[in-house]
Amino acid sequence: MKLAFILDPLDSIKISKDSSYAMMREAASRHHQLYTLQQNGLAWKNNQVIGFARSLTLIDPPESPHRWYREGATEEIPLTGFDAVLMRKDPPFDTEYIYSTYLLELAEHQGAYIVNSPRGIRDHNEKLAITEFPQFIPPSLVTSQEQLILQFLAEHEDIILKPLDGMGGAGIFRVQNTDHNIGVIIETLTRYGTRTIMAQRFLPEICEGDKRILLIAGKPVDYALARIPKPGETRGNLAAGGTGKTRSLSPRDREISETLGQILYTRGLMLIGLDVIGNHLTEINVTSPTGMQEISDQTGINVAGLMIDALEQSIN
């Protein structure tokens, strides 16, 4: 296969834990051709969507954390010239990201195969998408109105506030009804009532970990990565200092995974990361889910291999 990965700058990738790197390494081991481009390398030109892409050769083993690849010269290649294009640009999901999904959707109409589906990415905000499955989520509120948030806090006494476009735990606050900074936190997050945010009841099970469950082609990987907060923290995100430990899926984890898996896969979402705290679904990650390497390192399951298997089966 000829695979193109839309990524952040290669020098910013941490190969010890990056899932895109794991997928590229697995694909290279199967002698698939790799290409890479950045979000600004997409263009509509001469009535087709093209990518300004470079061939990518992995150095195996890497010479250093920053010397793990060699790139070829930039080539102008129609996206239909690849067997698959994997959109792995990290959030923020800003206006430029949305424009990229429009271009990628145009490429789909021309016959390109895009993973994950650009419409699927655009239609599933990683925070808001959980509201489609109310049977699995904690008490939640989505609003920009301070009074509604204060009422929610009065009802639940201990809540989490988070922006709808963040990643890695950025901008997340735990607020209790005794907090003297409630007003300024709400003002900051909602930008004085002009930005919509999400509030959720605080889940004390976070001390046992914020479980990342990977779904590949509608099916869950058998182990989740429980991201356990460091002392004094309420965020389990690895980017916020959490520690990742694998856990077998619980019956509730499987119920959530199996209910969502096929529904979301039919919408073109091949690789998904569900976040589950205790028995509650808190996020559905569709842009660039991570956790592959940590699960593989601790369990021996070749998670990247499962993903490349799914790609090969969908193309052949």
Of the residues 83, 126, 283, 294, which is catalytic? Answer: 283
Which residues are bridge partners to 213 per DSSP?
274
Of the residues 83, 165, 275, 294, which is catalytic? Answer: 275
Which residues are bridge partners to 21 per DSSP?
none
162 is catalytic: yes
In a 10 Å sphere around its CB, with 0-12 CB exposed, 13-18 middle and 19+ buried, how is residue 11 labelled?
exposed
235 is catalytic: yes
Of the residues 227, 237, 253, 294, which is catalytic? Answer: 227
283 is catalytic: yes
212 is catalytic: yes
Of the residues 25, 162, 201, 211, which is catalytic? Answer: 162
Nearest-angstrom CA–CA distance, 201 and 174: 10
Nearest-angstrom CA–CA distance, 258 and 225: 17
Nearest-angstrom CA–CA distance, 300 and 58: 22
127 is catalytic: yes
Residue 100: closest CA among 81, 83, 117: 117
Nearest-angstrom CA–CA distance, 316 and 311: 9
Of the residues 54, 89, 201, 212, which is catalytic? Answer: 212
Nearest-angstrom CA–CA distance, 165 and 172: 11
Of the residues 235, 237, 253, 294, which is catalytic? Answer: 235
Of the residues 88, 127, 201, 211, which is catalytic? Answer: 127
Of the residues 26, 210, 285, 294, which is catalytic? Answer: 285
230 is catalytic: no
Structure tokens at 250: 């619980």
Structure tokens at 49: 């969507």
State the number of CA atoms in the 13 A half-sphere of 78 facing the CB.
13
Contact 265, 218 (CB under 8 A): yes
Q: Which amino acids are annotated catalytic?
A: 127, 162, 212, 227, 235, 275, 283, 285
